[in-house]
């Protein structure tokens, strides 16, 4: 087994939600209201090994982006340890901290929001490698050209500005920028969600070509299980801040165990045959401000029984490399 690049051990993230104006007024008038806490990520263990593609899937608001940001080192955890090559990410200093930052790059859903509209493509892609000494002034032009070519863009585009490109091309500029600092690990946060289906396929193919060419490792975040199906080695399913299932991609698509994973599978249009045996997902995802007791999924689960309402299930290994957080597994056993 290859060495871990990133390990999360019991990682949680809480956000404090301040009272709005009406809440503050109610508080002044003596109502028992106070700031609330969002448990965005709740005691997550996760390992991403060199060369792996891990798909992280769940509905909007389940904590995927927050987890991705912590993994990429751009947001600190509230609790738990994040290890980068075995060392605590928050204890790294100087050159090692810079190295960790460069080695892990993040690609976002909306490339336009993360591309400076006043910078030419050449500077967007070429600024960081120059600052960090990955290229020299004399070689800079060809260095930038190479990154653009790798991302499937014509080098002549480098004199243009982001607004002159389509959504797919802008995502390619974001990819070229990430590649330019020679990362080993890329966190893709809904990187194709805003694109047309045909463009999505092109960008997903590009990610996989780059994986082979550059020996890259990915954490691929998506709300759509269908998007991660073909590119992930391992899939991790999150629900309201908790990991509910984790297995190889094949296991998840053939032997999904958790009722939530089964419900997500039922929503993937292409998986017609398997879809019939699963109930689709019902109801809205509850607020992480006030998550349901016991198993967070129990109000939406077609199989819930009394224990699910009161007792938090543990994430247990149900087959080699396959974990699930569901009381039904104890019943079956
Ligand atoms: N900076 C923040 N301050 C307060 N709450 C936050 C903050 N960032 C995220 N949250 C809350 O944490 C929860 C998880 O959000 P997160 O963005 O990680 O989920 P997600 O699964 O990535 O969903 P989406 O795809 O919609 O972004 C949500 O309830 C969100 O409102």
Residue 278 or residue 211, greater confidence: 211
Which of 20, 58, 65 to mutate for ligand 1's pocket (most ligand atoms within 8 Å of CB)? Answer: 65
Residue 68, CA distances (Å) to 55, 107, 116 in order: 11, 10, 22
Name the residue with the closest Cα to ligand 1, atom 1: 15
**Which pLDDT tens digit goes with each residue over 137-150?**
999 999 999 999 99
CB 260 within 8 A of CB 235: no
Residue nearest to atom 14 of ligand 1 (CA): 63
Residue minimizing CA distance to atom 30 of ligand 1: 61
Half-sphere exposure of 31 (CA within 13 A, CB side): 11
Q: CA 18, CA 83: separation in Å to the nearest integer?
A: 31
Q: Which two tokens stand for residue 206?
A: 């590009």
Q: How far is residue 293's CA from residue 312's CA, in Å, rounded to a whole number?
A: 7
pTM comes to 0.91
**CA dihedral (24, 25, 27, 32) positive or negative:** negative
Q: Which two tokens stand for residue 80?
A: 């738990």
What residues are paired with 37 via a beta bridge?
16
Q: Is the CB of 44 under 6 A from ligand 1?
A: no
Six token digits for residue 305: 């029984």
Token readout for 56 is 């992280």
The confidence band for 275, taking pLDDT boundaries of 50, 70 and 90, is: very low
Residue 332: what pLDDT? 59
pLDDT digits (tens, 9 = 90+) for 237-274: 999 999 999 999 999 999 999 999 999 998 876 555 45
Please tell me the predicted confidence (pLDDT) of residue 280. 63
pLDDT digits (tens, 9 = 90+) for 109-161: 887 788 899 999 999 999 999 999 999 999 999 999 999 999 999 999 999 99
Q: What's the 61 CA to ligand 1 centre distance in angstroms?
A: 5
Q: How far is the CA of 65 from the centre of ligand 1 (A)?
A: 7
- Mutational test site, ligand 1, from 12, 64, 109, max ligand atoms within 8 Å of CB: 64
Name the residue at shortest CA distance from atom 11 of ligand 1. 40
**What pLDDT shows up at residue 277?**
53
How far, in Å, from the CA of 200 to the mean position of ligand 1?
24
Q: What's the pLDDT score for residue 273?
A: 46
Q: What is the CATH number of the domain that holds 273?
A: 3.40.50.300
* Mean pLDDT over the full length of the chain: 91
CA distance from start to end of the chain: 30
Residue 213 has pLDDT above 90, yes or no: yes
Ligand 1 close to Cβ of residue 15 (< 6 A):
yes
CB of 242 within 8 A of CB of 314? Answer: no
The strand ranges marked E within the chain are 4-17, 36-49, 53-57, 79-84, 87-88, 104-107, 185-189, 217-222, 234-239, 242-248, 316-319, 322-324
Q: What angle do CA 159, 160, 162 make, to 5 degrees?
A: 140
For the chain, what is the domain count?
1
Q: Which of 78, 82, 74, 70 is nearest to 45 (CA)?
A: 82
In which domain, by residue range, is 109 found?
4-332
Å from CA of 14 to ligand 1 middle: 10
- What are the φ/ψ torsions at residue 277 (nearest 5 degrees)? -85, -5
């Amino acid at each position: 087994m290859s060495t871990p690049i990133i390990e999360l051990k019991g990682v949680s993230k809480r956000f404090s939600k301040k009272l709005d104006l009406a809440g503050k007024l109610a508080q002044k008038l003596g109502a028992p209201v106070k700031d609330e806490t969002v448990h965005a990520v709740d005691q997550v263990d996760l390992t991403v090994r060199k060369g792996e593609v891990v798909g992280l899937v769940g509905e909007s608001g389940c904590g995927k982006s927050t987890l991705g940001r912590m993994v990429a080192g751009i947001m600190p955890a509230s609790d738990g340890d994040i290890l980068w090559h075995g060392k605590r990410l928050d204890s790294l200093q100087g050159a090692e901290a810079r190295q960790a930052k460069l080695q892990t790059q993040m690609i976002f859903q909306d490339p336009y929001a993360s591309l400076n509209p006043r910078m030419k493509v050449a500077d967007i892609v070429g600024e960081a490698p120059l600052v960090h000494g990955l290229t020299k002034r004399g070689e800079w032009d060809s260095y930038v050209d190479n990154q653009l070519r790798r991302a499937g863009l014509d080098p002549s585009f480098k004199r243009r500005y982001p607004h002159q490109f389509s959504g797919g091309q802008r995502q390619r500029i974001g990819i070229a920028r990430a590649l330019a600092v020679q990362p080993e690990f890329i966190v893709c946060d809904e990187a194709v969600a805003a694109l047309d289906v045909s463009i999505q396929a092109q960008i997903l193919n590009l990610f996989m070509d780059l994986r082979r060419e550059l020996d890259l490792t990915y954490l691929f975040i998506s709300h759509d299980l269908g998007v991660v199906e073909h590119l992930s080695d391992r899939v991790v399913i999150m629900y309201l801040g908790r990991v509910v299932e984790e297995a190889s991609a094949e296991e998840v698509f053939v032997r999904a165990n958790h009722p939530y994973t089964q419900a997500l599978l039922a929503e993937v249009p292409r998986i017609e045959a398997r879809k019939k045996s699963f109930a689709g997902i019902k109801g809205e995802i509850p607020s992480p401000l006030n998550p349901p007791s016991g198993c967070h999924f129990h109000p939406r689960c077609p199989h819930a029984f009394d224990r699910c309402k009161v007792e938090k299930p543990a994430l247990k290994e149900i087959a080699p490399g396959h974990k699930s957080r569901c009381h039904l597994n104890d019943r079956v056993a």
